[in-house]
Structure 1
Amino acid sequence: MSAPAESPLDRLPPVTLVLTAVSSIQFGAALATTLFDELGPGGVSLLRLGIAAAIMVAVWRPDPRGVPRTDLRLVVLFGLSLGGMNYFFYEALHRIPLGIAVTIEFIGPLGVAIATTRRRLDLVWAALAFAGILLLNRPGGESVDRTGLVLILLAAACWAAYIVLAQRAGRVFTGSRGLAMAMGIAVLVPLGPGIHQAGTELLTWHFLLIGAGVALASSVIPYSLETEALRRMPTNVFGVLMSLEPAVAALAGFVVLGQNLDAIELAAIALVVAASVGVTRQQGRGAAPIVEG
């Protein structure tokens, strides 16, 4: 029997794949922000999820017929968490800087990691992350936009649910068929707000082209790279690398959007990154990886 053909990704180290995925997600989010004035965050969310869903359904061709009702309910919940995570994140991003938004949103996966561990040391890491979030809220001084804070906390809760449900879906469906069906459900979350905010602008070729770029950078490319990386590296190493997302988000916000962060905000981001690294670096190979949808 001949050996399977080598994929171009096989030639790249898994660390490179993860770092590329992290950068792709955050610079994709920065690109999405540039469309808020014309389409609104709801319109951009609808555009991203709609195009990503079309691509994934075309590739995986999932067939819901014959799927047990319990598994279909899992797909619906999976899709709603994915849609809510994206919609609430973009609505928050319309009000607060990218680096701060991703830092606060990281409460979701960090909370899952801490909730599934029995190590007392993780309580110290949790306290460190909480200190970082509190520092961002500037007690006694200028704080993060309140509405933006509520929205990004909702996104964090959806991210936590997404991680748990993605694990369950991965055991039930082969490949990414469960994710492809979930993406079709996710589109329903921003459907109303997206049409209200963007209207017929969603159908113009210019925004469709940029939306395709956002979908590729924020969903299709990082999903593919992360899946390949997880085949060749321990999940604890993967989690440590994903913990760099807040720092990469701050860089993307600065480079693409000109969002400057002061020393206190950078220190807060550093605290959350340190806490995330601390929680994930000791987890075993079977631990749940931190993956953004």
Structure 2
Amino acid sequence: MSPRFIGILQIIGAAVCWGTLGLIGTRLHQLHFTSSQVAAVRIVGALAVLLLLLPLFWPYLRNLHWRRLPFLALQSMLGMLGMSWFYFAAVTHAGSAVAVALLYTAPVWSLILARLILGEGIRPVQALLTVLAATGVALTMAGGISAQPVGLLFGLLSGLCYALYGVLGKRAMQGNPPMLVLFTSIAFSALVLLATALPYDAAALLWQMPNKSVWLYALALVLTGTLLPYFLFIKGLEKMPAAQASVFTIIEPLTAVLLATLWLGEHIGVLQALGIALIVAAAAANAVLRPAPKRMPL
């Protein structure tokens, strides 16, 4: 097999893994975990694994300059902590299919924020994609009779956090290898969470839960939904440009929707299905028509 084909398989594998987050989050919610506790398990659990692998990251951490810390911390707060919390809250209140669709409004938010914050222009085709995605959001909301309005709001905010992660985090990526960004993205958010009661409450709930399958969900959240896809994505980026790789990440919302309908039994109405399709189509077209930055972990 050619390196590019292997890279495509790695990117698709990463997207499929990320697509399981909604399913895992729903299962943990059914076991009485709040969205905040799910986010805490994901982030603090990932840090625990990374600390076990510290020798692998130490060469990158030794070369970290203190001036880069504010931007890396900002990237962590928005992309890892903020996005994770809002996304799992959206899964809880709106269902995983709608949540992942609203997460994929991030390219639209990026265009708007790049215009407002960075002063970048918006081309006519980008404006058209914005209208297309906005129409998809409207249809998703119109068809989301079973979804709570607050869940739709959380979904949009997860997309906004993800967009801010890219727009404001451009400077953080300059000169920083992906392995370093992975470690700091998780570490800063985990340290903030460890200063609260959330991870300790989640750990107590894990320990007291009579249904021991909860440990499998927690492990899957940390490994399958977080660390494994990021490593696969890094390896895939070594074999193809980021713009091409971002096209294959569209597999993520498709995976989430498929799991939501087949495994969780979520009902998706005609308007919702059309809205999700429009959002995904706009995200895919955006990835094809403009160079995409390297994607950070969810």
Are 1:288 and 2:270 matched, yes or no? no
Q: 1:187 aligns with which of 159, 180, 190?
A: 190
Are 1:31 and 2:24 matched, yes or no? yes
Task: Show the 5 A alignment for 1:193-208.
Answer: 194-195=198-199, 198=202, 200-203=204-207, 206=212, 207-208=214-215
Kindly provide the CA deviation profile for residues 235-274 of structure 1, in whole angstroms up to 9, marking residues without a partner as x: 2222222234322211121232111212211111111111
1:100–1:246 contact (8 Å) kept in structure 2: no
Alpha carbons of structure 1 residues 243 and 113: separation in structure 2 relative to 1, 3 Å: farther
1:159 is aligned to 162
Aligned residue identity for 2:22: A
Q: 2:7 aligns with which of 11, 14, 20?
A: 14
Q: 1:279 aligns with which of 254, 273, 286?
A: 286
Are 1:54 and 2:48 matched, yes or no? yes
1:88 is aligned to 86
Offset at residue 88 of structure 1 (A)? 1.4
Offset at residue 20 of structure 1 (A)? 1.4
1:268 is aligned to 275
Task: Return the alpha-carbon distance in structure 1 between the equivalents of residues 175 and 52 of structure 2.
Answer: 20
Q: 1:128 aligns with which of 125, 132, 135?
A: 132
Kindly provide the CA deviation profile for residues 106-156 of structure 1, in whole angstroms up to 9, marking residues without a partner as x: 1223432574665321111110000000111118x8374121122222212
Offset at residue 174 of structure 1 (A)? 3.3
Structure 2: which 5+ residue stretches go unaligned? 115-119
Given the two structures, how large is their TM-score scaled by the length of structure 2? 0.83
Aligned residue identity for 2:21: G
Aligned length: 283
2:109–2:160 contact (8 Å) kept in structure 1: no
1:109–1:163 contact (8 Å) kept in structure 2: no
Task: Return the alpha-carbon distance in structure 2 between the equivalents of residues 197 and 240 of structure 1.
Answer: 39
Q: 1:236 aligns with which of 232, 243, 251?
A: 243
Question: The residue matched to 1:39 in structure 2 has which SS?
Answer: coil
2:97–2:257 contact (8 Å) kept in structure 1: yes
Task: Return the alpha-carbon distance in structure 1 between the equivalents of residues 225 and 126 of structure 2.
Answer: 30
Kindly provide the CA deviation profile for residues 147-166 of structure 1, in whole angstroms up to 9, marking residues without a partner as x: 11222222122111222355
Task: Return the alpha-carbon distance in structure 2 between the equivalents of residues 258 and 188 of structure 1.
Answer: 36
2:40–2:202 contact (8 Å) kept in structure 1: no
Alpha carbons of structure 1 residues 138 and 265: separation in structure 2 relative to 1, 3 Å: same
Question: The residue matched to 2:142 in structure 1 has which SS?
Answer: coil
1:4 is aligned to none
More displaced stretch, 218-227 vs 105-114: 105-114
Task: Return the alpha-carbon distance in structure 1 between the equivalents of residues 221 and 274 of structure 2.
Answer: 29
Task: Return the alpha-carbon distance in structure 2 between the equivalents of residues 267 and 49 of structure 1.
Answer: 33
Task: Return the alpha-carbon distance in structure 2 between the equivalents of residues 56 and 164 of structure 1.
Answer: 26
1:72 is aligned to 69
Are 1:147 and 2:162 matched, yes or no? no
Task: Return the alpha-carbon distance in structure 1 between the equivalents of residues 197 and 96 of structure 2.
Answer: 21
Q: 1:104 aligns with which of 102, 105, 110?
A: 102
Structure 1: which 5+ residue stretches go unaligned? 1-7
2:105–2:283 contact (8 Å) kept in structure 1: no
Aligned residue identity for 2:8: V
Question: Percent of pairs identical after alignment?
Answer: 24
2:117 is aligned to none
1:42–1:190 contact (8 Å) kept in structure 2: no
Q: 1:40 aligns with which of 34, 37, 44?
A: 34
Aligned residue identity for 1:41: S
2:99–2:155 contact (8 Å) kept in structure 1: yes
Task: Return the alpha-carbon distance in structure 2 between the equivalents of residues 190 and 146 of structure 1.
Answer: 27
Given the two structures, how large is their TM-score scaled by the length of structure 1? 0.84
Q: 1:174 aligns with which of 161, 169, 177?
A: 177
Aligned residue identity for 1:29: G
Aligned residue identity for 1:120: P
1:218 is aligned to 225
1:41–1:91 contact (8 Å) kept in structure 2: yes
Offset at residue 203 of structure 1 (A)? 4.1
Kindly provide the CA deviation profile for residues 152-203 of structure 1, in whole angstroms up to 9, marking residues without a partner as x: 2221221112223554333233341232122112125555473586461144
2:142 is aligned to 138
Task: Return the alpha-carbon distance in structure 2 between the equivalents of residues 188 and 151 of structure 1.
Answer: 23
